[in-house]
Chain A
Amino acid sequence: DAGITQSPRHKVTETGTPVTLRCHQTENHRYMYWYRQDPGHGLRLIHYSYGVKDTDKGEVSDGYSVSRSKTEDFLLTLESATSSQTSVYFCAISERWDGEQYFGPGTRLTVT
């Protein structure tokens, strides 16, 4: 998985609780992305980062926030989890803004 790890790999949480997912890379790539994947919708971009402390919203950013304080770490936070956020979350990295993206192993999140 191109030097990308995600933690936790599986999580079950209750509605209304905060959840933080972590993506860690050892490739020193500038760009990092968070996607969610749901049946019928494919991969959808939540947020992305183009450098330390530089982030921007994707197409499904409502209810999510991100932070990147170091090149290697990109955190995704669900401030108050809802059942609609049950999904598989993938982190991806890229060297260039228009370059290939490489994906981490994913986190399966279930909100009950």
Chain B
Amino acid sequence: QKEVEQNSGPLSVPEGAIASLNCTYSDRGSQSFFWYRQYSGKSPELIMSIYSNGDKEDGRFTAQLNKASQYVSLLIRDSQPSDSATYLCAVGANTGNQFYFGTGTSLTVIP
């Protein structure tokens, strides 16, 4: 079982819609969770970090964390074509000092 699992997609949504990206993790002791966006040929770019159960909003992005169910999600409201990218979920190891990354979900926003 992989440490972090994401649906590889591709996920397609129309412009203006809500895109929902999901991630599950296996380390029940993990305390830090992150979403990155990666455009083709570029490096990962941090979107959100979340450490506590519940929702965290930043502009059009909302991260949701449920430690009991071991999942973290990212909602993108009013999706734009510029949001088309691969989204990576990262989970901090319980032992610290490193992340485990999912393989990413490819999102396409259709104009």
Contact = CB atoms under 8 A, between A and B. Distances in A.
B34 A42 contact: no
Interface size class of B (residues with CB under 8 A): 20 to 34
A45 interface: yes
A50 B31 CA distance: 19
Interface in B57-81: none
A12 interface: no
B101 A105 contact: no
Contacts of A102: 46
A40 to B, nearest CB: 7
A21 B36 CA distance: 24
A105 B98 CA distance: 19
Interface of A: 1, 31, 33, 35, 40-45, 48, 50, 56, 58, 90, 97-106
Contacts of A35: 101
A77 B50 CA distance: 34
Contact of A101 (B42, B46, B96, B103): B46
A50 B104 CA distance: 27
10 contacts: A1-B43, A43-B44, A43-B90, A43-B101, A50-B97, A98-B32, A99-B32, A99-B49, A102-B46, A103-B43
A41 B97 contact: no
B21 interface: no
B43 A104 contact: yes
A58 B78 CA distance: 38
A90 B43 contact: yes
Contacts of B34: 100-101
